[in-house]
Amino acid sequence: MSRRAPKASIDPDTRKTWLRRALPLVEAHRVVLAASLLLSFAGLVVQVQIPNLLRIGIDKAIVDRTAQLSTYVWWIAGLALLQGLINYLARLYLLRTAYEIEYDLRNIVYSHLVRMPFGFFDRVQSGELMSRSSSDIRAVQMYLSFGPSILVQCLIAVVAFGLMLSIDVPLAIVAMATMPVIGFLGVGMRKAIFPISWLIQARLAGMATIVDENIQGVRIVKAFAAEGRQLRSLGESADKIRWAYLQDARIRSRWTPVLDNLPRLGLALVLLVGGIMVIRGGTTVGTIVAFNSYVLMLQPPFRLLGMMIMLGQRASASARRIYEILDTPSDIVDGPEPLDVPLKGDVRFEGVRFAYPNGTPALDGLDLHIRPGETVAVVGATGSGKSTLGRLLGRFYDVTEGSVTIDGHDVRELRLASLREQVGIVPDEPFLFSLSIHDNIAYGRPGATRDEVIEAARAAGADDFVRKLPEGYDAVVGERGYTLSGGQRQRLAIARALLVNPPILVLDDATSAVDVTVEQAIHESLAQRMAGRTTLIVAHRLSTIGLAERVVLMEGGRVIADGTHESLLATEPRYARVLAVFEKTEA
Ligand SMILES: Nc1ncnc2c1ncn2[C@@H]1O[C@H](COP(=O)(O)OP(=O)(O)OP(=O)(O)O)[C@@H](O)[C@H]1O
């Protein structure tokens, strides 16, 4: 099935209320929604006729004996059947609208999320994003689709009241007397519950984060024998949830009996006033029975009023969180006339200053020129800004000052997709999807043949271990598949980058978990396959440095020395100091 694009988008005008901004989503599905609302109204009109028929049936067929009882029985049964059919269709269309709106909203949020720059993900916790993209979307959808339907149900109260008035004015007023109280109490109950239900949501999300961390970090938890501590923190969190649920239960149990019993009070009132009227000959027994049915029939819509308020409050808070994502513009986008040029790989950083969105300075006036085809190792103490180079080169962040150019083009002038195709970055902790090894390697070139995938895997030193897996290249890895070692994962990530065959490759400590002999073999095959490729290697090991023809030493976000390994070793004491740290960590 092909994916349909969202039919509408959220109004970008931030001055409007959340509901007005969301209206285009509802309007896009107005035909089906209107059909559902009309049908639901028609169903209710049919339903409202039944007590009236009951009244006439009782009065004429039972009390007066002037009509056939079976006529009314058949009519009522027929109308009930018709109402069932209409309700079925109304519900079907309503749910269809609800899920279509949810689909659109989900797609709008996701397509915005994937375009967000790294800086956004640095700021927002993934657990929070998960909740925004599931429960918040659901809350907005519920209000947008069920809200109108609840209003229609309330509207029917007006119709029923009109019908009752046409039968008997004083009794109609008595029958309706409890309804405003039910509506008022329903709203009151929801208002009382709302803060606590919000707290429950927040605490459940907090609990989910703890559970998630326990699962993700299970190895650390076990390694430090910290199960007890983790259990305690889970227990505390569960305790808080229980407290909130108990508060919720207390409020509900205070309000619900009143709300449930009010209609009974209504029945008693109708019986009292109607009874006196019947005795005095002012009305009929059938009318009392019919009005009793109305009292019972009308109280759910009035109770729904409270629900509507709750849905509205929840949706408004959820919409605000969703809009926070949608209103954050992606500042890393294509320029007005983006260039689509094949790159040779002449890379220049000129006077580059850069601080991460949280203000942490990373580069402080960095100058570096890498010629096409050169292999340069970047070395420096932790936090000196090495990884930041690759992130700016692939334009995952934009420089604060200065420029990054490739072949004389500022990276901000190049088409983003074309830039990222031509700058391959392999991080030290690569991510594997729950896909086959073939699909993981071919992630950047989904159409690649098996032979091409194998060739890339061979160059990355991955072919040997892949072949040893029972399913070979079809073995599923990642969260739901085989667990691979850190070094194996890194080799698959290198193969993934190689398959795209980018003219510029950044290996950001990409072989840190691979043993030295395998690393050597990988680099030899890289060297053969990559003649002419500009390669930047962030190195934390002496063996890795040995693979580069030139070494750049960084400190405090600048290049402080540049040369061959031997020349730096001979002339730059700070280089020797950094290497000394490497040796210590390797030992
Ligand atoms: N996403 C981020 N948000 C905020 N600050 C960051 C982010 N990534 C890195 N930094 C900070 O920027 C500075 C440079 O980081 P960078 O990762 O480039 O250093 P590095 O030399 O590669 O370090 P390492 O050798 O430990 O990987 C550090 O102070 C680091 O804490």
pLDDT for residue 479? 65
Is the CB of 585 inside a 6 Å radius of any atom of ligand 1? no
Q: Ligand 1: which residue has its CA nearest to atom 18?
A: 385
Q: Are residues 419 and 358 in the same domain?
A: yes
> Mean per-residue pLDDT for 269-287?
92
Q: Considering the domain boundaries, does residue 251 fall inside one?
A: no
Q: Ligand 1: which residue has its CA nearest to atom 4?
A: 356
* Banded pLDDT at 405 (limits 50, 70, 90): very high
pLDDT reading at 382 higher than 70: yes
pLDDT for residue 562? 92
Q: Are residues 566 and 441 in the same domain?
A: yes
Q: Are residues 429 and 576 in the same domain?
A: yes
The DSSP output letter for 554 is: E
Q: Are residues 271 and 391 in the same domain?
A: no
CATH number at residue 189: 1.20.1560.10
d(CA 267, CA 95): 34
Q: Which of 19, 580, 11 is nearest to 317 (CA)?
A: 19
Q: Are residues 168 and 48 in the same domain?
A: yes
Whether the CB-CB separation of 474 and 436 falls below 8 Å is answered with yes
Is the CB of 362 inside a 6 Å radius of any atom of ligand 1? yes
Q: Are residues 449 and 519 in the same domain?
A: yes
564 contacts: CB under 8 Å, gap ≥ 6: 549, 550, 551
Please give the share of the chain, as a percent, with pLDDT higher than 90: 49
* Banded pLDDT at 332 (limits 50, 70, 90): confident
Q: Considering the domain boundaries, does residue 252 fall inside one?
A: no
pLDDT for residue 91? 93
Q: Which of 120, 124, 356, 507 to mutate to test the pocket of ligand 1 (most atoms within 8 A of CB)?
A: 356
Residue 91 phi/psi, 5° resolution?
A: -65, -40
Last residue of a domain, one of 292, 326, 360: 326
Compute the distance from residue 123 Cα to the ligand 1 centre, in Å.
Answer: 15
pLDDT for residue 486? 84
Place of tokens 């680099």: 523
297 contacts: CB under 8 Å, gap ≥ 6: 47, 48, 51, 160
Q: Which of 120, 358, 388 to mutate to test the pocket of ligand 1 (most atoms within 8 A of CB)?
A: 388
Whether the CB-CB separation of 415 and 369 falls below 8 Å is answered with no
pLDDT for residue 584? 65
118-122, 179-183, 300-304, 496-500: range with highest mean pLDDT:
496-500
Q: Are residues 302 and 426 in the same domain?
A: no
Is the CB of 502 inside a 6 Å radius of any atom of ligand 1? no
- Estimate the share of the chain in helix, then strand, then coil, as percent rounded to the nearest 5: 65, 10, 25
Q: Which of 150, 154, 153, 161 is nearest to 51 (CA)?
A: 161
* Cα end-to-end distance, the chain, whole Å: 56
Q: Considering the domain boundaries, does residue 223 fall inside one?
A: no
Q: What is the ipTM of this complex?
A: 0.96
- The pLDDT tens digits of the residues spanning 188-216 come to 888 888 888 888 888 887 888 788 888 87
Compute the distance from residue 387 Cα to the ligand 1 centre, in Å.
Answer: 7
Q: Considering the domain boundaries, does residue 269 fall inside one?
A: yes
From the CB of residue 401, how many other CB atoms can be counted at a distance below 10 Å?
12
Compute the distance from residue 550 Cα to the ligand 1 centre, in Å.
Answer: 23
CATH number at residue 581: 3.40.50.300
pLDDT reading at 528 higher than 80: no
Q: Which of 118, 378, 387 to mutate to test the pocket of ligand 1 (most atoms within 8 A of CB)?
A: 387
Q: Considering the domain boundaries, does residue 226 fall inside one?
A: no
Compute the distance from residue 541 Cα to the ligand 1 centre, in Å.
Answer: 18
Q: Which of 392, 318, 270 is nearest to 139 (CA)?
A: 318
pLDDT for residue 586? 57
Compute the distance from residue 51 Cα to the ligand 1 centre, in Å.
Answer: 74
> Mean per-residue pLDDT for 568-583?
85
pLDDT reading at 583 higher than 70: no
Q: Are residues 436 and 318 in the same domain?
A: no
Q: Considering the domain boundaries, does residue 285 fall inside one?
A: yes
Is the CB of 490 inside a 6 Å radius of any atom of ligand 1? no
Give the residue numbers spanning the domain of 478. 347-586
> Mean per-residue pLDDT for 524-553?
83
Whether the CB-CB separation of 422 and 415 falls below 8 Å is answered with no
* Banded pLDDT at 481 (limits 50, 70, 90): low
> Mean per-residue pLDDT for 261-265?
86
Q: Are residues 293 and 382 in the same domain?
A: no
Q: Considering the domain boundaries, does residue 220 fall inside one?
A: no
- Total domains present in the chain: 2
Angle, helices 18-27 vs 30-56, to 10°: value is 90
63-77, 296-310, 474-488: range with highest mean pLDDT:
63-77
Q: Which of 331, 308, 318 is nearest to 22 (CA)?
A: 318
C-alpha triplet 64, 65, 67: angle, nearest 5°? 110
Compute the distance from residue 383 Cα to the ligand 1 centre, in Å.
Answer: 5
Is the CB of 512 inside a 6 Å radius of any atom of ligand 1? no
Q: Which atom of ligand 1 is nearest to the CA of 388?
A: 18
Q: Is 382 exposed, middle or buried (0-12, 13-18, 19+ CB in 10 A)?
A: exposed
pLDDT reading at 582 higher than 60: yes
Q: Are residues 55 and 158 in the same domain?
A: yes
How many Å is the Cα radius of gyration of the chain? 35
199 contacts: CB under 8 Å, gap ≥ 6: 244
Is the CB of 358 inside a 6 Å radius of any atom of ligand 1? yes
355 vs 218, residue with greater confidence:
355
Q: Ligand 1: which residue has its CA nearest to atom 3?
A: 356
Q: Give the strands of the sheet with 401-406, arranged side by side.
A: 361-370, 347-355, 401-406, 409-410
Please give the share of the chain, as a percent, with pLDDT higher than 70: 97
Strands 504-508 and 423-426: parallel
From the CB of residue 544, how many other CB atoms can be counted at a distance below 10 Å?
24
Compute the distance from residue 428 Cα to the ligand 1 centre, in Å.
Answer: 13
Q: Are residues 313 and 402 in the same domain?
A: no
pLDDT for residue 550? 94
Is the CB of 117 inside a 6 Å radius of any atom of ligand 1? no
531 vs 286, residue with greater confidence:
286
Give the 3-state secondary structure of 159-190. HHHHHHHHHCHHHHHHHHCHHHHHHHHHHHHH
Compute the distance from residue 358 Cα to the ligand 1 centre, in Å.
Answer: 12
pLDDT reading at 394 higher than 80: yes
pLDDT for residue 442? 94
Q: Which of 363, 386, 398 to mutate to test the pocket of ligand 1 (most atoms within 8 A of CB)?
A: 386
As given in the structure block, the two tokens for residue 153 are 């149900």
Rounded to two decimals, what is the model's pTM?
A: 0.75
The sign of the dihedral angle between the CA atoms of 156, 160, 166, 171 is negative
Q: Are residues 316 and 459 in the same domain?
A: no
Q: Provide the mean pLDDT of the chain.
A: 88
Q: Is 176 exposed, middle or buried (0-12, 13-18, 19+ CB in 10 A)?
A: buried
Q: Considering the domain boundaries, does residue 31 fall inside one?
A: yes
